[in-house]
């Protein structure tokens, strides 16, 4: 189905648009029954208190662990990505400056080749890891993304001005991760607070 990319699944079984590679494998009713009833989580063992993504948590955890097996390049980047989606869902967001404005927001750590190394789906509330220093909402995302990187291996991290703040740069340097990002002028007060704490 993804190869042919028809706009509606029913078209794969239609009289004028039938695709035999799909229609000969199973009937339309069988496909719809599978699509309606497929579940990725065993409700008897799942913890519904783990957030809005509890149904997908086993799949997400499995994918994350497999991504960590990929050899990591020395240069990495953290950025946000929109997975296009226009139907109704509580996780759907609108970001006016993105090419695809409606969809799910995902924070991603990629290497210089564009290979995904780590990701986090934005659920609308910050999930601060108590084992990591608190450097603000956007900075905390970067620190969580870097958990897959080995410390003091001179990785070079790049990010845009939404993530960038002086305290984040200092914390990454303590981990042996060099970083570079553009800076918003309203985030420069971090320098003053950092000097006062020192």
Distance CA 156, CA 176 (A): 9
Structure tokens at 133: 């220093």
What is the residue-averaged pLDDT of the chain? 82
* Structural contact between residues 116 and 148, judged by C-beta atoms closer than 8 angstroms: no
In degrees rounded to 5, what are phi and psi of residue 168? -65, -45
Structure tokens at 86: 């226009």
- Which of 11-20, 116-125, 126-135, 175-184 is predicted least confidently? 126-135
Give pLDDT tens digits for 21-79: 888 999 999 988 988 887 766 666 656 556 777 777 788 888 888 888 888 888 999 98
Give pLDDT tens digits for 141-161: 888 888 888 888 888 989 888
Distance CA 165, CA 153 (A): 22
- Which of 42-46, 87-91, 124-128 is predicted least confidently? 42-46
Distance CA 184, CA 77 (A): 18
Quote the pTM value: 0.69
Type and span of the H or E element at 116: strand 116-121
Looking at residue 132, what is its pLDDT? 82
For 50, the 3-state DSSP assignment is helix
């Amino acid at each position: 189905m993804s190869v042919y990319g028809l706009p509606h699944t029913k078209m794969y079984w239609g009289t004028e648009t039938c695709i035999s590679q799909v229609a000969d494998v199973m009937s339309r009713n069988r496909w719809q029954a599978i699509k309606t009833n497929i579940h990725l989580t065993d409700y008897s063992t799942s913890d519904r208190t783990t957030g809005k993504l509890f149904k997908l948590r086993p799949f997400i955890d499995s994918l994350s662990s497999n991504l960590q097996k990929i050899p990591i390049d020395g240069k990495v980047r953290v950025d946000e990505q929109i997975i296009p989606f226009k139907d109704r869902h509580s996780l759907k967001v609108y970001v006016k400056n993105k090419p695809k404005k409606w969809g799910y927001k995902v924070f991603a750590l990629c290497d210089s080749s564009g290979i995904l190394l780590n990701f986090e789906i934005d659920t609308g509330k910050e999930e601060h890891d108590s084992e990591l220093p608190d450097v603000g909402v956007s900075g905390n995302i970067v620190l969580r993304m870097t958990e897959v990187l080995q410390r003091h291996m001179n990785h070079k991290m790049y990010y845009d001005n939404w993530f960038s703040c002086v305290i984040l740069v200092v914390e990454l340097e303590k981990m042996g991760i060099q970083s570079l990002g553009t800076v918003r002028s309203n985030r420069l007060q971090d320098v003053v607070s950092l000097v006062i704490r020192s």
